[in-house]
Amino acid sequence: GENVEQHPSTLSVQEGDSAVIKCTYSDSASNYFPWYKQELGKRPQLIIDIRSNVGEKKDQRIAVTLNKTAKHFSLHITETQPEDSAVYFCAATPYNFNKFYFGSGTKLNVKP
Amino acid sequence: GAGVSQSPSNKVTEKGKDVELRCDPISGHTALYWYRQSLGQGLEFLIYFQGNSAPDKSGLPSDRFSAERTGGSVSTLTIQRTQQEDSAVYLCASRTGTRASYNEQFFGPGTRLTVL
């Protein structure tokens, strides 16, 4: 089955700096890669996603890049704000969406 | 409209007891997933329902775990003879569309299960 690894497990940045979270996957059949933000005590919420036929996608301060050959994808947050502090999860799923494999999460702390 | 709901929000039980966790997906969503999230960990896939197809049970950790989905809507996750290692937050998610349609998963608030 698929194995998704996520790094780093914790990340502390100063407000205004950029943050990068990286994930690798093992199954070449995976073709959809969502990222979720989970604030303390709340449910995960989708923040951005990317399909395997796209190399990069951007939404305001958030961007995701995908390297299919190397089987890794990354989340980039620019101009970080204190409200970006949360746990971020990457995930991978094959074309039929029968299961989502999640990374272990990155706790991002943005210091004001 | 209403999002995914789960009940109870918290459940404390004694080791060896059975528990039932309920998920009400968003109306019209044909796909439903159960996940387990242990403290400080990622989400572990448990089971997937898609319409009237046979569920994908490949993530269930043992035969003490089972789930059903009645009428293609409400789902119940049952854990028999609970163990302390079953303590976790159990999350349900639903999504619309058929296979291979890139639609978002919406998560419920979760049920926090504590086994004493």
Q: What is the pLDDT of residues B26-83, one digit of tens each?
A: 998 889 999 999 987 889 999 999 888 888 998 999 999 999 998 878 999 999 999 9
Do the chains contact at A99 and B56, CB–CB below 8 Å?
A: yes
Predicted pLDDT of residue A53: 85
Which band of pLDDT confidence, cut at 50, 70 and 90, is reported for residue A1?
Answer: confident
Q: What is the distance in angstroms between the Cα of B49 and the nearest Cα belonging to chain A? A: 8
Q: Are B49 and B55 in contact (CB under 8 A)?
A: yes
Report chain A residues whose CB lies below 8 A from the CB of B44: 102
Do the chains contact at A96 and B59, CB–CB below 8 Å?
A: no
The answer on pLDDT for B101 being more than 60 is no
Q: How far apart are alpha carbons A68 and A54 in whole angstroms?
A: 9
- Best mean pLDDT range from A18-22, A55-59, B95-99: A18-22
User: Is the CA virtual torsion B36, A63, A86, A37 positive or negative?
Assistant: negative
Q: Are A99 and B48 in contact (CB under 8 A)?
A: yes
Q: Which of A43, A45, A105 sits opposite B42 (nearest CB)?
A: A105
**How many C-beta atoms lie closer than 10 Å to residue A13's C-beta?**
17
Do the chains contact at A99 and B59, CB–CB below 8 Å?
A: yes
Closest CA in chain B for residue A104: B42
Interface of B with A (CB under 8 A): 31, 33, 35, 40-45, 48, 50, 56, 58-59, 91, 95, 99-102, 104-105, 107-110
Predicted pLDDT of residue B97: 64
Q: Which of B42, B100, B102 sits opposite A104 (nearest CB)?
A: B42
Question: What is the SS3 assignment for B85?
Answer: helix
Chain mean pLDDT for chain B: 91
Strand intervals (E) in chain B? 5-7, 10-13, 19-24, 31-37, 43-50, 65-69, 75-79, 88-95, 106-107, 111-115
Largest CA distance in chain A: 42
Chain mean pLDDT for chain A: 94
Q: How far apart are alpha carbons A99 and B100 in whole angstroms?
A: 12
CA angle in degrees (0–180, nearest 5) for A17-A69-A8 = 35
